[in-house]
Amino acid sequence: MGVLNGILVAVFDAIYAPLNILPRWFSLTVLSGVVGVLALLVVKYASNQAAIGQIKDDIKANLLAIKLFKDEMRVMFGAQRRLIWAALRMQYRMIPPMLVMAVPFVLMAAQMGLRYQWRPLGIGEEVLLTAELPPDTERSNFDLRVAESDGFEVFDRIRAVADASVTWRLRPTTAGVHTIEITNGRDTYTKELAVGAGIDRVCPVRPGSNFLDQLLYPAEPAFSTVSLVRSIRLERFPDRQSWYAGADWWLLWFLVVSIVLALVLKPVLKVKF
């Protein structure tokens, strides 16, 4: 997963390089439109369009039968039964393109989340930095410290043996992408810290070996299973504020724009679904 994430981060950095000069909502809309067109092409070439066309004809015929013979209960119930069967057949025919799109969509959404879900910290805006350790870690291994940096200040170390974690309060002092270094004197564990406006890619977590964490937070390499530090998290990290291109809303905007564009271009590209 780490190799794939590294490749995807590099690819999306290149994609976003020209988009970063545009308003964030515009870049999201452009990518949503591109995905809508690609989804149409996948449906066209990964599904049996002739069979889908036949199913749509069956649906139209049975709807017409219900309208014309609404007083004939036997005919109407038969048409309704055939409508349900046609709907099930349509769902079956859409399974192949859905399977083709599923994995690329999830990977793409994770990369887009780095650009729309969170924002960089502001100078002076405090955040909690937590290093998570294995549950059976000995007390002596909790003696971690954060290396000094010109980019941020660190306060109030809290060692929580029961939770297998060490937490610090961190306050940025200069803008830029800083590297946080956590060390025990022998090994060093790092995490990126984005501070100041204009930074494109932001991620609050450097994950461990957990597959879901690696999928959701792909910006930095995952820690190995033998590492003392299993993950590093910036707790209470700020969300981007926008009702359509910010935290939690960007995915809805992405889906709406891509679906609407797919419906508009469906007759142009001669796709049936």
What total number of domains does the chain contain?
Answer: 2
H or E element in which residue 131 lies: strand 127-132
pTM of the predicted structure, to 2 decimals: 0.85
Are 90 and 175 found together in one domain? no
Q: Could you tell me the strand order of the sheet in which 127-132 lies?
A: 152-160, 165-172, 127-132, 231-235, 205-206
The pLDDT, as a whole number, for residue 88 is: 95
Which conformational region is residue 73 in: left (phi greater than 0), alpha (psi within -120 to 50 degrees), or beta?
Answer: alpha
- Indicate if 85 and 22 belong to the same structural domain: yes
**Which structural domain range is residue 37 located in?**
2-117+246-269
pLDDT tens for residues 26-84? 999 999 999 999 999 999 999 999 999 999 999 999 888 888 887 788 888 888 999 99
Would you say residue 240 lies in a domain? Answer: no
**Is 55 a domain residue?**
yes
Q: Are residues 90 and 185 in the same domain?
A: no
- The pLDDT score that the predictor gives to residue 140 is 80
Instruction: Please check whether residues 111 and 43 belong to one and the same domain.
Output: yes
* 153, 190: one domain: yes
Q: Is residue 241 part of a domain?
A: no
Q: Are residues 139 and 218 in the same domain?
A: yes
In terms of domains, do 67 and 142 share one? no
> Is residue 105, in this structure, part of any structural domain at all?
yes
